[in-house]
Structure 1
Amino acid sequence: MQYLSSRGHKVFAINFPHKQGDGYYWAKQIHDAIQVVKSRTGADKVDVIGWSKGAFAARMYVSSVRESWGTAYAGDVRRLILLGNPNGGYDYPFRHGWYHDFSIFPECGGFVNAPSPHTKMICWGLWRNHPELSIYKTSVGDFFPGQKQMLARWDDVYPLPTWEQDWYTTYYGGLGFYTYGYGINYAMNQGSLVNTIRSAGIPGSVATYLLCGDTNDIPTIHNEHTGPSDGVVFIASCTDTTGIGSVAGNVVMNGLNHLKLGWAEAAMAQINAWLQ
């Protein structure tokens, strides 16, 4: 924000109450925020910059992907800049066996607010049952709808890492040596929106820019390493233009991971150039 503001842009920020929340609500909030910006600036249209899951929700808005209570796209976006967006979806939560669970299941030392691909896991010799920590909608609730919405299978493009523990049952569902889960298809059937968004399309009147990273070196997490990625999203997904009516820019930034796309000076300079 400071980088763009210091270069003369009027910058407004929007945050969301739950970082794993439902994209339908996020898209509605983006619409509402745009109305505030328009009222304060007198502009008819605004430029929207979204990063990661926020970019996914921004694309939902301009594509009018909504529930019955949601708001259709109001024709009020001039430029849409998507940073690290999984335009072709992602399967990162399911692709790496049990690795994510160690940071999620409390009995294994986990504390991260993120969805597990499993409902059960063995920690210290005992099965631990935590459906509420899983990505699925279960009898105890549905706590990570926004993550399900971004899911798409990439196993036909990049082979799964067969050396990682419980890789098969994590991805396809079933009981592994240390984990149990329903698999990516089950989760996708509960609410993936990737194909819906791509089919709905972004209007050609919205100049759309894609900014992606090429380096998988995010500290403290198990980075996506089975294909070229920014550590979370495959480059091929981030740069995918299916359903985008007007691609005004599509750049892969050398040396930037998924997080750095949101603050690295090189990324900010590229965004500033697009906003001229």
Structure 2
Amino acid sequence: MTEAPSAGRRWLLRAARAMAVVGIVAAAVTTAPGDASATAAPPPYLTLEASYGAGTVTNGWERVERYADGTDGFRTEGFPADGRGDQDGTRVTYFGGVSRPSSGRFLLYAAPGWNSGSRTTPVLLVHGANDTADRAWANPGESGGYGCGAASCPSTGLMQFLAARGHRVFAVGFAHKQGDNLMQAQIVGDAVAVIKAKLGVDAVDLVGWSKGEMSTRAYVSSVRPSWGRAYAGDVRRLVTLGGPNGGYDYPYAHGWAHDFSIWPECGGTVNAPSPHSHMTCYGLYTAHPEYAMTPSGGQDNYPGQRQMLARWDGQYGVDGAAQDWYTTYYGGQGFFTAGSGIQAAIDAGSLIAPLHRAGVPASVPTYLLAGGSADVLGIFNENRGPSDGVVFVSSALDTTGIATVGGKATITTANHLELGWHASAAAQVAAWLS
């Protein structure tokens, strides 16, 4: 067995930032659910725990609130022990100093003009994997270079773009960056309920980016845990940005390159799941169940990722030039890695087929936006077919189960991580919402 190539290791450390397939300490002001800014109280199972306002909130937001859903069924999900999945920056403050909060807690961000914008229907932005509402929607450059998918990151995003055009903009912040999409769908419903109560409206527009497509679509489709609430009929339009509507298989199709950003013995630190159970780095063969795509060794820290999986080998094949490509995708022991393969992960809980079967109600026009540029900096881009670097265009535009397709578009100059701030993408979203 030989050492992993150092050149590949250096640039692949950032790989999972594409799975978006991505402060200051402020004092909390505890408030009651019947806040003066609201026109009605939120549902009784929701508690407003804290509010952060002017002078304490960063990245252009006007306000951030923390809510807790007391419904039995929510739990604290698994986090990698080395802290790579913990809340960070101002989010730790917003979550009350807790870096590993229960998935029954969430943050609701409000943009300037949230209660005075000219547009009738408010907008809720839902971020993707290993990301935050701050970086995704308000400051794409918050995490530095490469975090936004380009060499130079802007300091404003879709939030400012929409707010400047009269939209009343909100965003949700999840407790777990790679969490269960069924629980996060319940949180999306909670956020919608709070916005409705605050503004006295009947419906909200949803914009889900990447993994955020899963929770928004699951909510309107009533795909939920056994203890969860069904769709409340309160979404006017659903917009998906680079969403894996048809699923994705990137981690398995490019597992060898993907793992260098994850496996600590190879220098990996990124918060993303591995398709392998064992890997050799610098001659050392090790196991890391804490980074597994499927439950392993009593740990399950990345449920939201396997829920997005679907096989694309029938349409686009598998990258036969990748090390251990066959065993990575189909399962078994390769020269340097071992794993159970993508089908085992799908069987362990993919939501693609259930979402297709449930269908998006005809009352919710759905708009699908794809990126067409596979040029995400710092990763091995998806090259087996037209893609945004992570998700195939044909997956992002897959309308299976969508009763009313409001529109489809591809931004040929945007990659997966640019879809939340690219000028053409923002203009398209604004047009659909308007």
TM-score, length of structure 2 as denominator length: 0.63
1:139 is displaced (CA, Å) by 2.4
- What does 1:103-252 align with in structure 2 at a 5 Å threshold? 103-252=261-410
Letter of the 1:166 partner, please give it: D
Cα distance in 1 for partners of 2:179, 2:416 equals: 19
- The corresponding residue for 2:20 is none
SS in 1 for 2:408: strand
- The structure carrying a bigger helix percent of its residues is 1
1:223 is displaced (CA, Å) by 1.0
Matched-pair contact (CA < 8 Å) for 1:97–1:168: no
What is the Cα-based RMSD across aligned positions, in Å?
Answer: 0.7
- The corresponding residue for 1:43 is 201
* Percent identity between the two aligned chains: 58
Cα distance in 2 for partners of 1:262, 1:72 equals: 28
Cα distance in 1 for partners of 2:433, 2:292 equals: 39
1:123 is displaced (CA, Å) by 0.6
Greater CA drift, 218-227 or 170-179: 218-227
SS in 1 for 2:224: coil
Matched-pair contact (CA < 8 Å) for 2:255–2:274: no
Matched-pair contact (CA < 8 Å) for 1:172–1:183: yes
SS in 1 for 2:255: coil
Residue in structure 1 matching 2:186, options 16, 28, 40:
28
Matched-pair contact (CA < 8 Å) for 2:213–2:243: yes
**Which structure has the greater CA radius of gyration?**
2
Matched-pair contact (CA < 8 Å) for 2:183–2:225: no
SS in 2 for 1:27: helix
1:142 is displaced (CA, Å) by 1.0
1:140 is displaced (CA, Å) by 2.5
SS in 2 for 1:33: helix
Cα distance in 1 for partners of 2:326, 2:176 equals: 31
1:96 is displaced (CA, Å) by 1.2
Q: Which runs of 4+ in 1 moved over 3 A?
A: none
Residue in structure 2 matching 1:92, options 250, 260, 264:
250
1:62 pairs with 2:220: yes
1:201 is displaced (CA, Å) by 0.2
- The corresponding residue for 1:264 is 422
Cα distance in 2 for partners of 1:112, 1:246 equals: 38
Cα distance in 1 for partners of 2:390, 2:199 equals: 36
Letter of the 1:124 partner, please give it: Y
Residue in structure 2 matching 1:2, options 160, 165, 189:
160
1:40 is displaced (CA, Å) by 1.1
Matched-pair contact (CA < 8 Å) for 1:118–1:131: no
- The corresponding residue for 2:239 is 81
1:275 is displaced (CA, Å) by 1.3
1:185-224 residue CA offsets vs partner (Å, 9 max, x unmatched): 1101100110100110000000110011001111111111
Matched-pair contact (CA < 8 Å) for 1:131–1:138: yes
